[in-house]
Amino acid sequence: MTALPGLDTPRTDTPELLRSVFRQHAAGVAVITAAGDRPAGFTATSLSSVAAEPPLVSFGVGTSSSSWPVIAEAGHVGVHLLGEDQRDLAAVFARRGADRFGPATDWHTGPHGVPLLEGVLARLVCRVVARIPAGDHRVVIAEVVHGDPPDGGRPLVYHQGRFTALRD
């Protein structure tokens, strides 16, 4: 077996290495929401399907995120898949200090008190079943308990540090 160049040399800049590698990995864009003393939400590119039976999803959230205290206590979360025309919505939920649930955001309170965004490709309400420590993040595992089936549309993706659309 031939060694790959550079792999035998230890790297000390692993956070930047990880970021540079994952800039090449296109990911779907979701917004995760939860209710607490105030509604909270953030843009996530780490959403993943975990299992079909029971229906489980996972996502990562930074413990320094302004949303983490609400997510840490929430029994349920909303998972919203964004469409290619929702770059502005993704940016609002990604920006620190933004008024995420202000007048410009179309949302309502859904099952289990979860803030639900309108006009997204698809959305789920999920019961949090685990919060697993993972460095400066937590991986949240949640079971789907309610959802609105998708009605078509093209997803928003995150690639090379920006929100973009799929190309044909």
Classify residue 34: in a domain, yes or no: yes
How many separate domains does the chain show?
Answer: 1
- How confident is the model at residue 107, as a pLDDT? 97
The answer to the question of residue 114 being in a domain is yes
pLDDT at position 5 is 58
Q: Is 9 among the domain residues?
A: no
Tokens 């309108």 sit at which residue? 118
pLDDT at residue 8 in the model: 60
| CATH number of domain containing 79 | 2.30.110.10
Secondary structure class of 112 (helix, strand, coil): helix
Count Cα neighbours of 47 within 13 Å in the Cβ-side half-sphere.
24
Residues 148, 160 contacting (CB under 8 angstroms): no
pLDDT of residue 2: 53
pLDDT in the model for residue 9:
60
Classify residue 157: in a domain, yes or no: yes
Would residue 19 count as lying in a domain?
no
- The boundaries of the domain holding residue 52 are 25-165
Distance, CA of 81 to CA of 78 (rounded, Å):
10
Residues 6+ apart with CB under 8 A from 73: 36
Three-class DSSP category at 47: coil
pLDDT at 30: 97
Spatial contact of 115 and 33, defined as CB atoms under 8 Å apart = yes
Residue 134 lies in a domain: yes
Total number of residues shown for the chain = 168
Q: Is residue 55 part of a domain?
A: yes
pLDDT by position in tens, the chain (length 168): 455 555 566 555 677 887 777 777 778 999 999 999 999 999 999 999 999 999 999 999 999 999 999 999 999 999 999 999 999 999 999 999 899 999 999 999 999 999 999 999 999 999 999 999 999 999 999 999 999 888 789 999 988 888 888 887
Contact 140, 61 (CB under 8 A): yes
